Structure 1
Amino acid sequence: MTDPTAVHPVEERASANSVRPARVVAGDSGGVSVPTRAVPTRRSRGRLATWALGVAMIALSLSWFGAWALPVTALAILLAVIALLARRAQPELAWWGLGLGIGAVACCLCWIAWGAQAAAELAVR
């Protein structure tokens, strides 16, 4: 009942009019041409490490101007650690993000120490 030669003209006509390839499904329906959808096989490299590096660069730049950039540095370090634990992301970028985030924390701590010292000098006067 399902003669494959009867399906060939349908396949040729479907491939000429359609961009998507057709596959033949034989069964109780006799032979039907069903278009298939191409599934991308590209593996996601993860963008979290890129975001961690970008936020860390911004945090380091902001930390030169004041200690108020500390929340941004905490976000950069958090993103970098999550990217390292995810194992889908690029580890080089995540490590750079972590290092720049730690550097930004050091700059913020310098501002905090300077502010504490200035406050102590004002309290003495």
Structure 2
Amino acid sequence: MLSGLFTRSAASAADFTHLRQARVELRDVIKQYDGHRVLNGVNLTVEPGEVVTILGPSGSGKSTLIRLINQLESLSGGDIFIDDKPIGQLKGAALRQLRSRIGFVFQQFNLYAHLTAQAEHYAGAGVCAWLE
């Protein structure tokens, strides 16, 4: 499945410069730390233009899920696609390019002190609008 992506240079095969709104798909995503499974078979599709908020109790894997999409963490299993392109094996310029097109807001210590969680969600939607 990944062979077609990497027969050419990763940077040219995985060109994300066109992205303003993209489809993000997670298929059977698994993440483990030292044998402890923190994400188990997550499936999620975010359509172009859709703004999504991930809510859940502390330790439920919200930040881990987002870090996987941005490739700040490596998958233990499953696949992540941006506009139908697998991103799990990106490196170098292609990975930097992908990261430059993805934005997210973390919780707790990275919160904007003057905003509620709901306001942060809408701030993310505003950033998407600024890019258009």
TMscore range, shorter length: under 0.3
The structure whose Rg is larger is 1
TM-score of the pair, normalised by structure 1: 0.27
Give the helix-richer structure, 1 or 2: 1
TM-score of the pair, normalised by structure 2: 0.26
Answer 1 or 2: higher relative contact order, Cα 8 Å, separation at least 6.
2
